[in-house]
Amino acid sequence: MSVQTHSFFGDVLRHVDRAAAFTKHPPGLLDQIKQCNSVYHFRFPLRTGNGNVEVISAWRAEHSHHKLPVKGGIRYAPDVNEDEVKALAALMTYKCAIVNVPFGGGKGGIRIDPSKYSREQMERLTRRYTHELAKKNFIGPGIDVPAPDYGTGEKEMAWIVDTYIALNPGQLDASACVTGKPVSQGGIQGRREATGRGLYYALKEAASHADDMQRIGLSTGIDGKTIVVQGLGNVGYHAAKFCREDGARIIAIAEREGAIFNPSGLNEEEVFQHRRATGSILDFPESKNLSSTSEALELECDVLLPAALENQITEDNAPRIRARILLEGANGPTTPEAEEILLAKGVLIIPDVYANAGGVTVSYFEWLKNLSHVRFGRMGKRYDEAEDRRLLHAIEVATGKMFSEAERNSLIHGADELDLVNSGLEETMAVAYQEILETRRRIDGIEDLRTAAFYNALEKIARSYSELGIFP
């Protein structure tokens, strides 16, 4: 059995400690904030296709109860472990505080390779996991609200909510026990692409600040920037899509089987369809196969977007990274040692603890929708359109100019659910980035965005404990 030598949770604690050094909070309060409040590790049997029984290891960690419910995804992967689950739960606590979402942090995981199990086995496994969480009160609309993560999606969330409702008949808000559900099962439009869209909004906000862009030798805006994307899953695909549609060039895409490069630009949808048809992104037309995923990370580009797993940029390859902006789509893709090297080189790091908060932000909107039992936009869409019509009519009467039918249709638009979700997400990401920048400028000694973001999180969480009267 291999011995784990790198602690992901330890890396998170190092980031917290670096930010905590700029605060004036007592050590006891900081210790309370840093540690996981509850970690539930359990095992259960699963009958395999050949009639044997396999024992499955699973976890759910609740990092902080300073706000309830706690919130965080469920990961299905063969290398899931307790250290990883605790680290991701902790990151979720700080992430929610940074973007002003009123949740504590949680995370779940099951140590399996989903590709080796049938759909029926995956359903039984997911429902059993939900039963185990319910037995220990680790799931519920006001307690702990899971969501999709690596290896899970809408299908698994639908199984979870169905199981929870069966265990809690008549509970009015039962559908709010999990987010990331299909829209037909109480989900919300825009949730699937939320993390990728949030990354786009984060980059858009960062690229709008002329002083930072001038420092790293780039112009403002996304248009024309070259981007290397690692990971063509849900997050990487959508981040690439929105950035490309705003004028960026995706010059390389890396996946586990290798990487492809085209300096003229790649279309993520075409690459995705090629991979679906052939099983690999390699040999994509008019692109060059790279020798390894690592080679793609080291290409010269304006923006490097790692959207796969943690620990992809280490002290080993950091000296060879030639990006000017590191936009962290995955959780923990950069080790602390690598970050020191990149900062010394002048790289602008937009940290994961802020940049990939789009998913939990829109999960919050879904949770609110489930609690209110009404679709966003339903109450106001037609009213807003009627107001727009009256305004256009008044303009026509006052000016004598008549709008064409096409012009009227483009100007008269009441916001529907997706409009409101995207607007709320953009506002959330913009405000949080401005708060981080303000802290970096105000606090002497804080020079990077990650430390500023963690500082903001610590201040907000500490304020919650103070207002509860737990700490002075």
Q: How far apart are CA 140 and CA 69, in angstroms?
A: 8
Give the Å distances, CA to CA, from 271 to 103, 259, 280, 308, 452: 36, 11, 9, 17, 37
> DSSP secondary structure string, 268-308?
HHHHHHHHHHHSSSTT-TT-EEES-HHHHHTSEEEEEEE-S
Contact present, 200 and 225 (Cβ < 8 Å):
no
The residue written with tokens 């539930």 in the block is 40
The helix-helix angle for 449-467 and 27-34 (nearest 10°) equals 110
How large is the angle between the packed helices 417-442 and 194-206, nearest 10 degrees? 40
241 is catalytic: no
Q: Give Cα 262 distance to the centre of its chain.
A: 27
Q: How far apart are CA 454 and CA 459, in angstroms?
A: 9
Catalytic residue among 34, 71, 95, 107: 107
Sheet with 104-111, edge to edge strand ranges: 38-47, 53-62, 104-111, 70-77, 144-148
Closest Cα partner for 307 from 377, 259, 237, 360?
Answer: 237
Number of residues that make up the chain = 472
Measure the CA–CA gap between 183 and 294, rounded to whole angstroms: 37
Mention every residue, 6+ apart, whose C-beta is less than 8 A from residue 284.
Answer: 260, 266, 270, 271, 274
DSSP 141: T
With beta carbons less than 8 A apart as the criterion, state whether 106 and 62 touch: yes
Chain position carrying tokens 């010394």: 344
What is the sign, positive or negative, of the torsion defined by CA atoms of 288, 289, 295, 301? positive
Distances (CA, A) of 182 to 178, 189, 378: 11, 9, 19
Instruction: Report, as residue numbers or ranges, the catalytic residues.
Output: 107
